Structure 1
Amino acid sequence: MPKYKFLQPYTFQNGVQIKNRIVIPPMTEASALQDGTISMDELHYFDLHTGGAGMFIIPVANVSANGKGFEGEFSVADDKFLPGLKKLSSTVKRNGTKAILQIFHAGRMSNSKILRGEPIVSASAVAAKRPNAETPEELTNEEIEQIIEDFGQATRRAIVAGFDGIELHGANTYLMQQFFSPHSNRRTDKWGGTVDKRMTFALEIIKKVNQVIKENASSPFIVGYRISPEEIEEPGIRIEDTLKFVEVLADQGIDYLHISMGNAWRTSLNNKDDNEPLIEKIKRQINGRLPLISVGSVETPQDAEKVMDAGIDFVALGRESLREPHWVQKVESGQEDAIRYTVALQDYPELGINPSFKEFLDMLHTDMHIVGQDVAKDDFKGHLGSLEGN
């Protein structure tokens, strides 16, 4: 029996076995080529960081050309990207690590410069609450249906490319969350209005994805869903909305639910009198029907085991996996004292952090525990959520 619960295997209901409970969450490295093709730098980075965790969730590939959220983001919006995607999946799938491709549409969390002059789009023509945010165009019914189809085609490409599964990015204020949020979705048709109607876009995507898997996958294929439990906007998503949503999600044929937060034990952003961690509320609502992934400020084996002790099925290592690519291997071999919790800027090349990735990290002001340099902590939002999440 392994010393830690997080080293024990897990078997999904579809029969896929995961070798341990450690997950590398989707963390944007901003290193793709300008057209969305996987770069050699990205392959090098993933090669350095894979092999230990049970699942490696590859970050934010856009499903539509107008779904691009930032420069250096790779795409799964066309078959022309398949050669690079195949190299990516084969690189990550080493030593039994499962490769999960996160797919998304940025919606209003983009701008016309990134989209080369094209307008940004969203559920409604409401700008995001952030500096210099552009007002998006409201998607027509036909455009919504096309994006749903795009998610389906992206799933087909993930299957063809050899990935073990996909994660639907319904978090960090991107389009799937925008449809669920009463701030960004002011519609009165079937896509908006009540909390139930605001779920429709996500549920239709899940239905399409499951249909595509049934038609194209020759072996079990994992479908995960990532959510952000709350928003601070007014109006915005509150934990009560999320609990209603996860109650429905639990019966939609997905394989796991990934809770995106900057701290695994975060309490409500909106109700300061409520001291119960949000993950505990969600776990109680799910009641064992779906495995959960918890993420945020987990660094040591003791941090990870605390998540296991709380009855959470998987624990994700974000920033710590950047600092220490061999975290799992060192724990397995009894070399915990050798785990690296700080880095120097001079360490970046050996960690696969190229200048573009470094610039992205600097923009996030994320705490990489850089020796000799003060770096401010940030509770990530939007693109920032791609590093562990909010």
Structure 2
Amino acid sequence: MDKINLLSSYTFSNGFVVKNRIVMAPMTTMSSFYNGQITEDELKYYQLRAGGPGMLITGVAYITEQGKGFEGQLGASSLQHLSGLTKLAKTIKQNGTKAILQIFHAGRMSNSKVLRGINTVSASDVAALRPDAEKPKALSENEILTIIEDFANATHLAIQAGFDGIELHGANTYLLQQFFSPHSNRRTDQWGGDLSKRMKFPLAVIKKIKTMINTTAKQPFLLGYRLSPEEFETPGIRLQDTLTFVDKLATSGIDYLHTSIGHIWRQPIGEHLDSSPIILQMLNVINNRIPLIGGGSVQTPDEVTNILNKGIPLVALGRELIREPKWVQKVENDDAQSIRYRLSKAEMDELAIPPAMQIYLNESFRDVMDFTTDTSLSTNRYLNQIAPMEGYEKKL
């Protein structure tokens, strides 16, 4: 079989076409204004990285003020954000790159300081297992229904702003995952209990958004879902739960599934009969019904080609596109030898990395950014352990 060219196009089942197999993974910039408005720093950051990847997924935007997760976060909660989101979509859509807005509700992974004195909320009143975690308020039935509407309204904003799709952030321990997790969801009503009831909230959000897309989008518009496959908590999400959920998601109406794993070939950490890489187990369950976006510690063109030839049709690059914004263009021009695989602190301004983002890359994520001043590379750091972005205290 011929190798799949990473520069070849891909067509989704709804007719949506991306020009190549590279996706820029969603990464937090922490650089929006206090009210969720986009800043010039962020626009410059995305502008430098647009034009190459087939798809670019933004850092996550909150769908309601009570769902904000951290300072400097992008907002998609009201019409006041429409103008900025429109600028962002236009900035990304260069040279055929498709613009995808990632959206979420942080749930218990926020705090009352970020929420300006308001309590956090979640499926149940169970605090996260992290330092200084606040005990959230359990959402009422009406509040749950309101949040489902908020997700749909944020999707409508994305459509109005000119985005090509939205991605539901159902990973990294945020609210969608909190309803699925037996640690954060101890409910005994229709929204919690056994596995099928813990799937109900994310599936209801998907259904509502799909209706919004069908009634308001005038051209093919993608609906993606990102998930983290395991949790370290007990009780917590185990891979078998996730594989059951993946099977359900494959027929839920989403257009693609996106994994949030620190290393693409990581094996399960819990007790599981099958020790093969998580992503290959998910691929087997999906069985070609929807495309899977795989990523995690992927850097080189050869690595991308290998992933594609395992049957994973789209590959996400995250930290690598921070270090090398022109990764795709260099591959296109047979100039892959000039791709940066390490990050110089002296070049961070030149790479249009916003000042606030520079700080946390240098502090919270220093050990995985491969700075040129570091003595060792961290390519396989997360091959055998859960990464911060999958649910530990530090997040990207």
Per the normalisation by structure 2, the TM-score is: 0.94
Find the aligned partners of 2:344 and 2:226 in 1 and give their Cα distance: 32
Q: 1:99: Cα distance to partner?
A: 0.3
Find the aligned partners of 1:384 and 1:234 in 2 and give their Cα distance: 16
Find the aligned partners of 1:311 and 1:39 in 2 and give their Cα distance: 38
SS in 1 for 2:263: coil
* Contact 2:61/2:104 (8 A) holds in 1: yes
Q: 1:373: Cα distance to partner?
A: 3.6
> Are residue 364 (structure 1) and residue 365 (structure 2) matched?
yes
Find the aligned partners of 1:170 and 1:151 in 2 and give their Cα distance: 12
Instruction: Find the counterpart in structure 2 of residue 265 from structure 1.
Output: 265
* Contact 2:13/2:255 (8 A) holds in 1: yes
Find the aligned partners of 1:369 and 1:3 in 2 and give their Cα distance: 30
* Contact 2:4/2:309 (8 A) holds in 1: no
SS in 1 for 2:157: helix
User: Aligned AA for 2:289?
Assistant: R
SS in 2 for 1:77: coil
Instruction: Find the counterpart in structure 2 of residue 322 from structure 1.
Output: 322
Instruction: Find the counterpart in structure 2 of residue 109 from structure 1.
Output: 109
Instruction: Find the counterpart in structure 1 of residue 93 from structure 2.
Output: 93
| Percent identity for Structure 1 against Structure 2 | 53
> Are residue 229 (structure 1) and residue 232 (structure 2) matched?
no
Cα deviation digits, residues 87-118 of structure 1 (max 9, x gap): 00000000000000000000000111111110
CA shift in 2, pair 1:75/1:207, >3 Å: same
Find the aligned partners of 1:272 and 1:144 in 2 and give their Cα distance: 33
Instruction: Find the counterpart in structure 1 of residue 120 from structure 2.
Output: 120
Find the aligned partners of 1:188 and 1:226 in 2 and give their Cα distance: 26
Instruction: Find the counterpart in structure 2 of residue 196 from structure 1.
Output: 196
Instruction: Find the counterpart in structure 1 of residue 148 from structure 2.
Output: 148
User: Aligned AA for 1:237?
Assistant: I
* Contact 1:65/1:77 (8 A) holds in 2: yes
SS in 1 for 2:325: coil
Per the normalisation by structure 1, the TM-score is: 0.96
Out of 382, 385, 388, the residue aligned to residue 380 of structure 1 is 388
Q: 1:273: Cα distance to partner?
A: 7.4
SS in 1 for 2:60: strand
> Are residue 83 (structure 1) and residue 83 (structure 2) matched?
yes
Q: How does 1:169-188 map to 2 (within 5 A)?
A: 169-188=169-188
CA shift in 2, pair 1:107/1:10, >3 Å: same
Q: 1:270: Cα distance to partner?
A: 1.1
User: Aligned AA for 1:380?
Assistant: P
Instruction: Point out where structure 1 has 5 or more consecutive residues left out of the alignment.
Output: none
Find the aligned partners of 1:287 and 1:373 in 2 and give their Cα distance: 42
**What count of residue pairs does the alignment treat as equivalent?**
386
Instruction: Find the counterpart in structure 1 of residue 46 from structure 2.
Output: 46
Q: 1:317: Cα distance to partner?
A: 0.7
User: Aligned AA for 1:364?
Assistant: F
User: Aligned AA for 1:241?
Assistant: D
Q: How does 1:198-347 map to 2 (within 5 A)?
A: 198-271=198-271, 274-347=274-347
Find the aligned partners of 2:10 and 2:348 in 1 and give their Cα distance: 33
SS in 1 for 2:240: helix
Instruction: Find the counterpart in structure 2 of residue 136 from structure 1.
Output: 136
Find the aligned partners of 1:229 and 1:380 in 2 and give their Cα distance: 13
Find the aligned partners of 1:221 and 1:38 in 2 and give their Cα distance: 22
CA RMSD of aligned residues (A): 1.7
* Contact 2:68/2:115 (8 A) holds in 1: yes
SS in 1 for 2:388: coil
User: Aligned AA for 2:388?
Assistant: F
Bigger drift between 81-90 and 354-363 goes to 354-363
SS in 2 for 1:56: strand
Find the aligned partners of 1:25 and 1:383 in 2 and give their Cα distance: 19
Find the aligned partners of 1:176 and 1:383 in 2 and give their Cα distance: 17
Find the aligned partners of 1:299 and 1:118 in 2 and give their Cα distance: 41
* Contact 1:172/1:385 (8 A) holds in 2: no
User: Aligned AA for 1:57?
Assistant: I
User: Aligned AA for 1:218?
Assistant: K
User: Aligned AA for 1:130?
Assistant: R
* Contact 1:66/1:118 (8 A) holds in 2: yes
* Contact 1:92/1:99 (8 A) holds in 2: yes
Find the aligned partners of 2:359 and 2:30 in 1 and give their Cα distance: 9
Q: 1:386: Cα distance to partner?
A: 5.8
* Contact 2:239/2:272 (8 A) holds in 1: no
User: Aligned AA for 1:85?
Assistant: L
SS in 2 for 1:59: coil
SS in 2 for 1:275: coil
SS in 1 for 2:201: helix
Find the aligned partners of 1:147 and 1:315 in 2 and give their Cα distance: 31
* Contact 1:23/1:57 (8 A) holds in 2: yes
Instruction: Find the counterpart in structure 1 of residue 349 from structure 2.
Output: 349
Cα deviation digits, residues 130-188 of structure 1 (max 9, x gap): 11111100000010000000000000000000000000110000000000000000001
CA shift in 2, pair 1:247/1:288, >3 Å: same
Instruction: Find the counterpart in structure 2 of residue 74 from structure 1.
Output: 74
Q: 1:360: Cα distance to partner?
A: 2.1
Find the aligned partners of 2:317 and 2:395 in 1 and give their Cα distance: 13
SS in 2 for 1:225: strand
Q: 1:35: Cα distance to partner?
A: 0.8
User: Aligned AA for 1:335?
Assistant: D
User: Aligned AA for 1:114?
Assistant: V
Instruction: Find the counterpart in structure 1 of residue 16 from structure 2.
Output: 16
User: Aligned AA for 1:325?
Assistant: P
Cα deviation digits, residues 260-302 of structure 1 (max 9, x gap): 1000001012138753000011011010001000010100011
